[in-house]
Amino acid sequence: MKKYLNYIDGEWSESSSGKYVEILNPANGEVLGEVTQSTKEDVDRAVQAAKKAQKEWRLVPAPERAEFLYKVAFLLKERKEKIAQVLTSEMGKVIEEARGEVQEAIDMAFYMAGEGRRQFGDTVPSELRNKFAMSVRIPVGVAGLITPWNFPIAIASWKSLPALVTGNAVVWKPATETPMTAYEFAKIYEEAGLPKGLLNLVNGSGSVVGNAIVEHPDIDLISFTGSNEVGSAINARAGELLKRTSLEMGGKNAVTVLADADLDLAVDSILWGAFGTSGQRCTATSRIIVHQYVKAELEQKLVDRIGELTLGDGADESVKVGPVINRSALEKIHDFVQIGQREGARLLAGGHIVSEIGLDGGNFYAPTIFTDVTPEMRIAKEEIFGPVVSIISVNSLEEAIEINNNVEFGLSSSIFTADVNRAFQAMRDLDTGIVYINAGTTGAEIHLPFGGTKGTGNGHRDSGVAALDVYTEWKSVYIDYSGKLQRAQIDNN
Ligand code: NDP
């Protein structure tokens, strides 16, 4: 059986624990391999290697650092299909989406390589004569990255590439469910010739490895994507330790459909947004807020189309919806569906675990639509992270915006309307980090900031130029060439 190891200080090694965990294909339960379970000591080894490597790396000119990222980009491109297949086998998303996810990492590698020749600072006039003032970005040091299973390469790329191009070293803990994709990515860094110690992959559980990363005194910043529960615990501890943290967490994303909307376009976008990646995207469409005039028509169109969503192994090109990640996720989703029914919501489609022959070895949940949902129901407020969407009806745009905003999360929102005035009003008032007009809640592009307001995060952003802010400090530099003491605020006033 294939064993997946750690990559520490440029060497592939198993953990000193000697323990392994099986990697399962969520579509059929097949054992794909096993992954080493690291200890606190493994994390320490990785951090020491990172710290040492970063001392030299910070002095390498940024355009030269970027050369490695270009190599990573080309290797990812070359291996796109292979990585997509690995990703589908351990995570379950359909192959077309897996290819899209690898493409996201490719795009990010090219984009961040470009940052090697940007990383702009500011030069500003000094208030004194014969004095020069500027601010420059400097690396933070060693970045601890903790990533989830739902986008095992995209999210790892969003974090590791900006960290490296800005001169940091990385200690990365991927999710236990997706070590094979992590291996493929780390291997590419190795083959790109990245100097040893700059990218360290440490496999293992969140409670041991994740926790050791958060606690380690030589890790200067934590970038985390995952659940609110874990993210807020990390934030609390990192706060005590005065460590910088960047958190991207859950969503309860809504599509608003106004009476003048193109309903067929809205239906296409809802099916893709709610059931793509089996609803396990942080940007998944989880609520549909529809004007009552078009509610019945929209419901009918959704019911007519839901049969198109064939379930199965994501490796099969004809399959539209793959399994969910594991048995406990399947049970959690089903619990939510039962809660929804008890709360009085009406099932329009789905609502059950799929156990038909051929799918019984995997974790399949039927694409599920609830209607007559009210904003205070739990299914309208809490993140389900599965193929379940709830329809809520409203009488106005203002009511739709209020319901959209009145949840704990603020990641993504979308509105379908033909009225430009309403579209602009929505764009201004929807309280989420990402807003789509006449497109669903998913589809972020890597050169724009990605993240959310309120409970979704803590104000930082992955992606775009904003990602540089996570991995750099500002240094302000004053050069006085007057040859005499010049006192700011005093000698010029
Ligand atoms: P988790 O929070 O359970 O796990 C995320 C990562 O944190 C994993 O690597 C996990 O390790 C690790 N972890 C778990 N416990 C600890 C701990 N005590 N200390 C440090 N690290 C820990 O989330 P999931 O992986 O289950 O991902 C699903 C969640 O992520 C959803 O809520 C989703 O909305 C959110 N998400 C948000 C995104 C965003 O950008 N806003 C994007 C993608 C997902 P392990 O699992 O190996 O134990």
Nearest to 202 by CA among 36, 19, 3: 36
Residue 70, pLDDT > 90, answer: yes
Residue 487 near residue 126 (C-beta atoms within 8 A): no
Q: Which atom of ligand 1 is nearest to the CA of 146?
A: 9
Q: What is the DSSP string of 144-199?
A: EEE--SSSTTHHHHHHHHHHHHTT-EEEEE--TT-HHHHHHHHHHHHHTTPPTTSE
Which is catalytic among the residues 248, 376, 383, 473? 248
- Residue appearing with tokens 């624990």: 17
Q: How far is CA 282 from CA 404, 423, 434, 449, in A?
A: 16, 23, 12, 15
pLDDT at position 271 over 90: yes
Whether ligand 1 lies within 6 angstroms of the CB of 383 is answered as: yes
CA nearest 375: which of 406, 411, 398? 406
Residue 282 is among the residues annotated as catalytic for this protein: yes
Q: Which residue's CA lies nearest to atom 4 of ligand 1? A: 226
Mutate to test the pocket of ligand 1, among 20, 36, 146, 325 (most ligand atoms within 8 A of CB): 146
- Among 227, 286, 441, which is best to mutate for testing ligand 1, by the most ligand atoms less than 8 A from CB? 227
pLDDT band, residue 329 (cuts 50/70/90): very high
Check pocket membership of 97 for ligand 1, CB cut-off 6 A: no
- Tell me, what amino acid is at 128? L
DSSP per-residue string spanning 266-310: HHHHHHHHHHGGGG-STT-EEEEEEEHHHHHHHHHHHHHHHTT--
Q: Which residues does 76 contact at the CB level (< 8 Å), separation at least 6?
A: 83, 102, 105, 106, 109, 188
Q: Is the pLDDT of residue 484 over 90?
A: yes
Taking 90 as the threshold, does the pLDDT of residue 281 lie above it?
yes
Question: Would you say the CB of residue 458 lies under 6 angstroms from ligand 1?
Answer: no
The pLDDT tens digits of the residues spanning 174-196 come to 999 999 999 999 999 999 999 99
Three-state DSSP state, 461:
coil
DSSP one-letter string for 376-402: TSHHHHS---SSEEEEEEESSHHHHHH
Confidence category of residue 165, pLDDT binned at 50, 70, 90: very high
CB-ligand 1 contact for 282 (6 Å cutoff)? yes
The residue with tokens 């379940």 is: 388
Q: What pLDDT score was predicted for residue 314?
A: 98
Note the pLDDT of residue 357: 86
**Cβ-contact 123, 470 below 8 angstroms:** no
Q: How many percent of the chain have pLDDT more than 90?
A: 98
Per-residue pLDDT tens digits for 415-460: 999 999 999 999 999 999 999 999 999 999 999 999 999 999 999 9
Q: Which of 280, 267, 302 is nearest to 414 (CA)?
A: 267
Catalytic site residue from 90, 97, 101, 282? 282
Q: What is the pLDDT of residues 35-69, one digit of tens each?
A: 999 999 999 999 999 999 999 999 999 999 999 99
Contact (CB, 8 A) for 106 and 154: no
**Ligand 1 site, residue 101, Cβ cutoff 6 A:** no
The candidate with the shortest Cα–Cα distance to 103, out of 151, 163, 45, is: 151
* The token pair that represents 257 in the structure block: 């459909």
Q: What percent of the chain has pLDDT over 70?
A: 100
51: Cα separation from own chain's centroid: 26
Q: How far is CA 320 from the centre of its chain?
A: 22
**Mean pLDDT (the chain, rounded):** 97
Residue from 145, 150, 456 whose mutation best tests the ligand 1 pocket (most atoms within 8 A of CB)? 150
pLDDT of residue 341: 98
The torsion defined by the Cα of 117, 118, 119 and 125, in degrees rounded to 10, comes to: 120
Q: What is the DSSP letter of 462?
A: B
Question: Coil, helix or strand for 139?
Answer: strand
On the CB side of 190, CA atoms within 13 Å amount to 15
Closest-CA residue, ligand 1 atom 32, reads 227
359-373 mean pLDDT: 97
Q: Is residue 172 lining ligand 1, measured as CB closer than 6 Å?
A: no
Buried b (16+ CB within 10 A) or exposed e, 21-52: bebbbbbbeeebbbbbbbbbebbebbbbbbbb
**Cβ atoms of residues 27 and 322 within 8 Å:** yes
Tokens read off for 350: 């789905």
DSSP secondary structure string for all residues of 308-366: T--BS-TTSTT-SB---S-HHHHHHHHHHHHHHHHTT-EEEE--SB---TTTTTS--B-
Q: Is 7 left (phi over 0), alpha (psi -120 to 50) or beta?
A: beta
